[in-house]
């Protein structure tokens, strides 16, 4: 169970960084298209 929790925490950290990168990338593309 400890191992599973550690993996979940690692995945959530990676997901947060990935989401931030993804959102900023999408925002920059939208800004380029519409502005």
> For 1-31, how does the pLDDT look when each residue is reduced to its tens digit (9 = 90+)?
788 888 888 888 878 888 889 999 999 999 9
Query: In this model, does residue 34 exceed pLDDT 80?
Result: yes
CA distance 19 to 25: 10
CA distance 10 to 14: 6
CA distance 35 to 8: 39
List the helix and strand counts (H, then E) for the chain. 1, 0
Domain ranges of the chain: 1-35
For 27, the 3-state DSSP assignment is helix
CA distance 9 to 13: 6
Can you give the pLDDT at residue 16? Answer: 84
């Amino acid at each position: 169970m400890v191992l599973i929790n550690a993996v979940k925490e690692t995945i959530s950290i990676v997901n947060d960084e990935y989401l931030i990168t993804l959102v900023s990338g999408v925002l920059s593309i939208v800004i380029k298209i519409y502005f």
